[in-house]
Structure 1
């Protein structure tokens, strides 16, 4: 069991990619703290996976510290942190509101930054350090209409990972980023023709499944990737190589 006795926090994990990451970590022996803003989703997901549910706002610094403290209180350490929580608020650049902008930054950037900070402080105390993974996006690499703020936040996470190499490598802490492309989740399946549209414009012929993203995430936080840090791995079936925009978005 690859993650036997490892302790992990995963945010934004009530469903979709985050849920699958938690499920796979737990199946490989990890003690998982599963966070989601939606308390019902968090508790339901935790019950299914048989892990610790942590409902709360992952953009709130007090709650972030509470999650890290809970991990240490329950299991004595913290080995893996996956800052997966994020929000997408579409909007035309010229009319985008300050309220929407700062909300995106608070959750996507602030939550990830301060979770990494709190986790790193704990990992620094541990003899074998730990690993941190941020969830970016293909739109951190390729412009996409009405996503200026979101794309900006995701690109910033990749630079944060690079910068933390300088700050945290001495404590045996690795920091990487995963950038998913179009992915079939509970949310995207509700969008009309989502799978059909993205299958047509993705070189590999389909959008990602949550297992595609979760498998990559588990590799990056495993001991097999202990010499990989400051990197971003795009998982998009080749979409960013051609960057065909769905009809109706142009």
Structure 2
């Protein structure tokens, strides 16, 4: 995967998954604009990838444009955008404040929108195609207790990805979502994952159950997918949500109808739905949340 001559922006790349993405893109030859709200983390990341840093929280149009402008001023062009920046403000619905909801939506959803819009304008102006890679989450695919704001943002990102894939196809700009699972400060807050995060931090190898069944590993395990989607090898892949983590690589399906019945020209009354539901629909009801296997004892 030779990315020599390509220029990438990776938001939220001071540490964790974002840093792993930036490092992998740089290792394949790309020039990288890193971004973080922590000045020390941003500068250290920029040094690690021999790139440049923009210290700012994503969300506003001004920050999005500043990222694109820095790519052009430092490296002459833009080819790749990785929308990774994110925060958590977890709590149950009845405890969640407006501010907690808005903070997560602003960073994840609005930040992905504003950065993609600014990048798309530049990529279309260059007329040479491009790659936009947005970061989803299993929570956005199936939900998770205590993550109303995060689930809404991540589900919205995948919805935007599918729309942008259509809108930008003529310009040869692919748009895909990566759905990673990895040891980060975010996943360390998840009780059933924390032991594996602690094991990695202690330098211990993860058991096959964690790497295969849970698809869980260090951030570096997820970075190869970002490099692949940024490359010419992925020129025909767009509008997809692709999961990665540990030893697991998976293609998520789009939502689709799983059971269909028709009324005979009368529409559906509540009573008619009740009559048909048990026999035709109840067996197809979908689960919510991740259905994870139990760890071997």
Q: Which has the larger radius of gyration?
A: 2
Equivalent residues of 2:138, 2:290 under 8 A apart: no
Structure 1 position 228 matched with structure 2 position 276:
no
Counterpart position of 1:243: 291
> CA offset at residue 180 of structure 1?
1.1
| TM-score, normalised by the number of residues in structure 1 | 0.89
> CA offset at residue 43 of structure 1?
0.5
Q: Deviations over 1:13-57 (max 9, x none)?
A: 001111111111111111100101111110011112221111111
Structure 1 position 184 matched with structure 2 position 232:
no
Aligned-pair Cα RMSD in Å: 2.7
In the TM superposition, structure 1's runs of 4+ consecutive aligned residues that sit over 2 Å from their partners are 185-193, 195-206, 236-242, 244-247
Name stretches of at least 5 consecutive residues in structure 1 with no aligned partner.
none
What is the CA–CA distance in structure 2 between the aligned matches of 1:69 and 1:225, rounded to whole Å? 26
Aligned length: 246
| TM-score, normalised by the number of residues in structure 2 | 0.76
1:184 counterpart SS class? coil
Equivalent residues of 1:201, 1:246 under 8 A apart: no
Aligned 1:6-85 pairs, distance under 5 A: 6-85=6-85
Structure 1 position 3 matched with structure 2 position 3:
yes
1:33 counterpart SS class? strand
Aligned 1:68-147 pairs, distance under 5 A: 68-147=68-147
2:168 counterpart SS class? helix
What is the CA–CA distance in structure 1 between the aligned matches of 2:102 and 2:186, rounded to whole Å? 23
What is the CA–CA distance in structure 2 between the aligned matches of 1:67 and 1:135, rounded to whole Å? 18
Name stretches of at least 5 consecutive residues in structure 2 with no aligned partner.
198-205, 253-288
Counterpart position of 1:210: 219
Tell me: CA distance 1:205–1:132, structure 2 relative to 1, closer, same or farther (3 Å).
Answer: closer
Counterpart position of 1:171: 171
